[in-house]
A and B are shown apart, each in its own frame.
Chain A
Amino acid sequence: MQKMTGFKCEKCGKMFYPKHARCPRCGSLELKEIDLGNECTLMTYTKLFAVPEGVEQIPLLLGIVEFKNGVRALGQIVAEEVEIGATLQPVWGPLRKVHGKTVSGFKFEPVKRKLS
């Protein structure tokens, strides 16, 4: 299974997503790919009704999540309803069409807690 990754500056330790050519804090070129983990928290979201050409799902649920290491990402949310603060996990899947071709990437789905 693919893991969602971010980047860490080897020089100053800044972690970020997506990739930049240089570290956004210190400008270093020494960047290392890091695992962002399997759990993130929903910071804000929207249900998009006026979707762009290339998106078929109406409404499209989009949100910004924060991983435990503080790195944030934006993505689609695979759920009918969500709330700020919900715990989500990244999952790989098709996102939309660009110039007629399907593009895939990470989306976020609610974590199903196992009953122990």
Chain B
Amino acid sequence: MLRQVAVIGCGMTKFGRHDGKTLLEIMVEASLRAIDDAKIGERDVDAVYVSTMLSGELSNQTALGSALVDQLGLMPAAAHRLENGPASGGSAVKNACMAVASGFCDLVLVTGGEKMRHISGDRITDLISTMVHPTAEYVHGVTLPALAAMFTRLYMHRYGLKREHLAKVAIKNHANALKNPYAHIHQPITIEGILYAKEAEVNNPLVADPLRLFDCCPVTDGAASVVLCAAEIAKEFCDTPVIVAGLGQATDTLAVHEREDPTLLKAVQVASQKAFKMAKLTPADMDLAELHDAFTILEIAESEDSGFFAKGTGHKALEEDVTSLGGKLPINPSGGLKARGHPVGATGVAQIVELTWQLRGEAGGRQVQGAEKAYCCNFGGFGNNVISFVLTRRN
């Protein structure tokens, strides 16, 4: 990058259910927290990037960039709304980084949000599936859980992954979320209750065989926000700026069946390689990672394709607690999409927020001790548009 970018402020709403508030209102709440955290005072914000996937369809509002600058009184700052499926948040952060790195802007605000809980399950499932291939997937009744399920079956077939591994991702992330006051789901779960007991059939019903309820992220309302600035001026605002050391983005075929190896998340591979290369770091240098576990299988697959573990061995690392809090590489200390929740447009921003809190040592009960370098991966479509970041703490 031409010049380095720093994260100097972050904020979130609680993820969960926000009845009685509009999408814009929750975005304002998260933005105010980030602005407050960044201590930018009267300084002008040069640009605002808003990420949301379905604001038009679900909240009857579009062009949210303009609405947010108006609410926050940030005019005449440039304003954008960015839609890139579930990678909208990562895309917004990335474009904001570009704006700062290029010298075009010094101070920018990125806010992602979604309100989706007020809609019936089958309607939201349909709206989300509009991101898949229109003629080769959508018209056949395909949903994101269906794609994830077919991916999982192939994975099990090929790599000996078992239902226990999927359950373990859910149990771990639910446990982590109990330590995250912003998380949507605060519910401990046990292998007995979701898998082994006969009652598991009711407790944890099939969504898309072999994936069950607890393999899928919940439908969540929420917003997350970060303030970015040129690293050279970051010390004016805070003592420990977090540096965007690397970022990478890559795409893959829209239709999953067209991938040479459908169990390989090539876009994750390429995006992470780019991010690590830019940061001049390797996966082994990372102290923690936030991965896009919209489905439990994705945490395992992304942990491999991001370069942390060899293909087909992610579930072994999970088994050995390498990815638990206290392990060598904690994954999703926030609870991940699985338990922190997945307000689609907010997720990529929330990952940056969690990494920043972790690198500043402000993550409370889920703090990864001494974390200095962290990675996140925001996964769009079913892996057709992926953005990865490497963040580091500057002391």
A, B: real partners: yes
Which residues of A pack against B, CB within 8 Å? 16-18, 24, 43-55, 57, 59-60, 62-64, 72-76, 84, 95-96, 98, 103, 105, 107
Given contacts A18-B136, A96-B139, A105-B139, contact A47 B208 (CB under 8 A): yes
How far, in whole Å, are A108 and B146 apart by their CA atoms in the complex? 17
Residue B145, interface by CB 8 Å: yes
Interface size on B, residues (CB 8 A): 38
**Is A52 a contact partner of B257 (Cβ separation < 8 A)?**
no
**Is A46 a contact partner of B149 (Cβ separation < 8 A)?**
yes
**Is A74 a contact partner of B141 (Cβ separation < 8 A)?**
no
Residue B123, interface by CB 8 Å: yes
**Is A74 a contact partner of B206 (Cβ separation < 8 A)?**
no
**Is B207 a contact partner of A105 (Cβ separation < 8 A)?**
no
**Is B150 a contact partner of A62 (Cβ separation < 8 A)?**
yes
Given contacts A18-B135, A46-B209, A84-B157, contact A51 B141 (CB under 8 A): yes
Residue B392, interface by CB 8 Å: no
Q: Using Cβ atoms and an 8 Å threshold, which residues of chain B touch A55?
A: 141
Residue B51, interface by CB 8 Å: no
Query: Chain A at the B interface: mostly helix, strand, loop or mixed?
Result: strand
If A49-B207, A50-B122 are given as contacts, then 8 extra A-B residue pairs at C-beta distance below 8 Å, sorted by A number, are A43-B262, A48-B143, A48-B145, A50-B121, A72-B257, A75-B140, A96-B140, A105-B140
How far, in whole Å, are A50 and B211 apart by their CA atoms in the complex? 11
Residue B163, interface by CB 8 Å: no
**Is A60 a contact partner of B139 (Cβ separation < 8 A)?**
no
Residue of B139, B140, B206 with highest tally of chain A CB at under 10 A: B140
How far, in whole Å, are A74 and B255 apart by their CA atoms in the complex? 9
| Across the A-B interface, the 9 shortest Cβ-Cβ residue pairs | A46-B149, A52-B126, A18-B136, A47-B209, A53-B126, A72-B257, A55-B141, A53-B122, A44-B154
**Residues of B130-174 contacting chain A, CB below 8 A:** 133, 135-143, 145-146, 149-151, 153-154, 157
14 A-B contact pairs sorted by A residue (CB < 8 Å): A47-B209, A48-B141, A48-B208, A48-B209, A49-B206, A50-B122, A51-B141, A52-B126, A53-B122, A57-B141, A62-B150, A95-B139, A96-B140, A98-B138
* B46 CB, min distance to chain A CBs, angstroms: 37
**Is B153 a contact partner of A44 (Cβ separation < 8 A)?**
yes
Q: Using Cβ atoms and an 8 Å threshold, which residues of chain A touch B253?
A: 24
**Is A74 a contact partner of B137 (Cβ separation < 8 A)?**
yes
* B225 CB, min distance to chain A CBs, angstroms: 31
Q: Using Cβ atoms and an 8 Å threshold, which residues of chain A touch B206?
A: 47, 49, 59
How far, in whole Å, are A59 and B258 apart by their CA atoms in the complex? 25
Please tell me which one of the listed residues A24, A73, A98, A103 contacts residue B257 in the complex, with CB atoms under 8 A apart: A73
Residue B256, interface by CB 8 Å: yes
How far, in whole Å, are A64 and B126 apart by their CA atoms in the complex? 20
Residue of A48, A51, A62, A64 with highest tally of chain B CB at under 10 A: A48
**Is B208 a contact partner of A50 (Cβ separation < 8 A)?**
yes
* A64 CB, min distance to chain B CBs, angstroms: 5
Given contacts A48-B208, A73-B136, contact A95 B141 (CB under 8 A): yes
**Is A54 a contact partner of B257 (Cβ separation < 8 A)?**
no
Given contacts A18-B135, A74-B137, A74-B140, contact A48 B149 (CB under 8 A): yes
Residue B296, interface by CB 8 Å: no
Q: Using Cβ atoms and an 8 Å threshold, which residues of chain A touch B149?
A: 46, 48
Please tell me which one of the listed residues B126, B133, B135, B209 contacts residue A54 in the complex, with CB atoms under 8 A apart: B126
Residue B205, interface by CB 8 Å: yes
Q: Using Cβ atoms and an 8 Å threshold, which residues of chain A touch B151?
A: 44
**Is A103 a contact partner of B139 (Cβ separation < 8 A)?**
yes
Residue B125, interface by CB 8 Å: yes
**Is B153 a contact partner of A84 (Cβ separation < 8 A)?**
yes
Q: Name B148's closest neighbour in chain A (CB-CB).
A: A46
Q: Using Cβ atoms and an 8 Å threshold, which residues of chain B touch A44?
A: 150-151, 153-154, 157, 262
Q: Name A19's closest neighbour in chain B (CB-CB).
A: B135
Residue B129, interface by CB 8 Å: yes
* A50 CB, min distance to chain B CBs, angstroms: 5
**Is B125 a contact partner of A53 (Cβ separation < 8 A)?**
yes
**Is A64 a contact partner of B143 (Cβ separation < 8 A)?**
no
* B216 CB, min distance to chain A CBs, angstroms: 8
* A100 CB, min distance to chain B CBs, angstroms: 12
Q: Using Cβ atoms and an 8 Å threshold, which residues of chain B touch A75?
A: 140
Q: Using Cβ atoms and an 8 Å threshold, which residues of chain A touch B122?
A: 50-53
Q: Name A84's closest neighbour in chain B (CB-CB).
A: B157
